[in-house]
Amino acid sequence: MLSIVIPTLNESKTGYLSKILDAYIGVEGIEVICVDGGSQDDTISIIKQSNAKLITTDIGSRAGRLNTGIKQAKFDMVLLHHPRSLVDVEGIKALTNRTSEIRWGAFTHQFSISHPLLNFTSWYSNHIRGRRGIYYLDHCLFAQKQLLLDVGLIPEIDIFEDTEICLRLKEQAKPIRLPFISQTSAVRFEAHGIYRQALKNQYLKWLYYFKRSDKEMNRVYEKGIELNTEYAEKHKHKK
């Protein structure tokens, strides 16, 4: 049995949320929980038209929305589902059937478009970074609910929360990477240019290494496209 938690915020622009919710209709042994952070587009309508449970919040951080969903999950295994990644349905079924033997892990990453640099990025993420026990959220991480609770849930920071939760989890158990694909939208690369976005990503990793402010890093990451914290950034000064 599997609880799938999707943190949403103005997701209709990419079209991925509809694909995700439609793909998982009829899959047995799962519940889908969408935790919304105050969407101003058609996201809420899309969720209401599906079989997913909707939780509306004003939580600005993706980590905070994920934690809300984890707490509400009714099953022992929780899939932390990136809102712009689509997991092979056979992978969902396989995970559902193996929840008693897996403590935590991730699916195998692939971008929605093929390009030598993006292909290398996915390979590196799967085979090099993953070997060190670090997976980003677009792999669609999964873990036992109790394990997530035991490590204090996901640090509620604006960026690199996926890295931080992996650091906590790998102290408790070695992760497993399932061979099923988590295909992630390359929207940031398409919007900014593949090489330009890749350089930005590497710059952010250095900022993270030198422990710069998560809010400062996220402003850099979101500039020009605003996918994860658009509502929070636009409205925080109005409170």
Q: What is the CA radius of gyration of the chain?
A: 17
Burial zone of 195 (CB within 10 Å; 0-12 exposed, 13-18 middle, 19+ buried): exposed
Q: Give the residue from 31, 233, 43, 61 showing the smallest Cα distance to 153.
A: 61
Say what the pLDDT of residue 223 is.
84
Residues 6+ apart with CB under 8 A from 55: 33, 34, 35, 36, 68, 69, 72
Question: Does residue 15 fall inside a structural domain?
Answer: yes
For residue 48, what is the domain's CATH number?
3.90.550.10
**What pTM was computed for the model?**
0.91
Q: Over the stretch 123-163, which tens digit does the pLDDT of each residue have?
A: 999 999 999 999 999 999 999 999 999 999 999 999 999 99
Question: Does residue 106 fall inside a structural domain?
Answer: yes
| pLDDT reading at 30 higher than 80 | yes
- d(C-alpha 56, C-alpha 54), whole Å: 6
Question: Does residue 199 fall inside a structural domain?
Answer: no
Please count the structural domains in the chain. 1
Q: What is the DSSP string of the chain?
A: -EEEEEEESS-TTTSHHHHHHHHTTT-TTEEEEEEES---SSHHHHHHTSS-EEEE----SHHHHHHHHHHH--SSEEEE--TTEEE-HHHHHHHHHTTTT--EEEEEEEESS--HHHHHHHHHIIIIIGGGT---GGG-EEEEHHHHHHTTS----SSSHHHHHHHHHHTT---EEEEEEEEE--HHHHHH-HHHHHHHHHHHHHHHHTT--HHHHHHHHHTTT--SSHHHHHHGGG-
- Greater pLDDT, 231 or 181: 181
Q: Over the stretch 33-51, which tens digit does the pLDDT of each residue have?
A: 999 999 999 999 999 999 8
Say what the pLDDT of residue 16 is.
93
- d(C-alpha 140, C-alpha 162), whole Å: 10
Q: Over the stretch 75-125, which tens digit does the pLDDT of each residue have?
A: 999 999 999 999 999 999 999 999 889 999 999 999 999 999 999 999 999
Say what the pLDDT of residue 226 is.
62
Say what the pLDDT of residue 227 is.
63
In this prediction, residue 239 has a pLDDT band, given cuts at 50, 70 and 90, of very low
In this prediction, residue 194 has a pLDDT band, given cuts at 50, 70 and 90, of very high
Question: Does residue 202 fall inside a structural domain?
Answer: no
Neighbours of 72 (CB within 10 A): 15
In this prediction, residue 232 has a pLDDT band, given cuts at 50, 70 and 90, of very low
- d(C-alpha 214, C-alpha 211), whole Å: 8
Domain that holds residue 94: 2-188
- d(C-alpha 89, C-alpha 79), whole Å: 13
Question: Does residue 230 fall inside a structural domain?
Answer: no
Say what the pLDDT of residue 196 is.
94
Say what the pLDDT of residue 225 is.
64
- d(C-alpha 157, C-alpha 61), whole Å: 7
Chain centre to alpha carbon of residue 75 = 19
In this prediction, residue 235 has a pLDDT band, given cuts at 50, 70 and 90, of very low
Percent of the chain with pLDDT over 90: 87
- Greater pLDDT, 53 or 233: 53
| pLDDT reading at 178 higher than 50 | yes
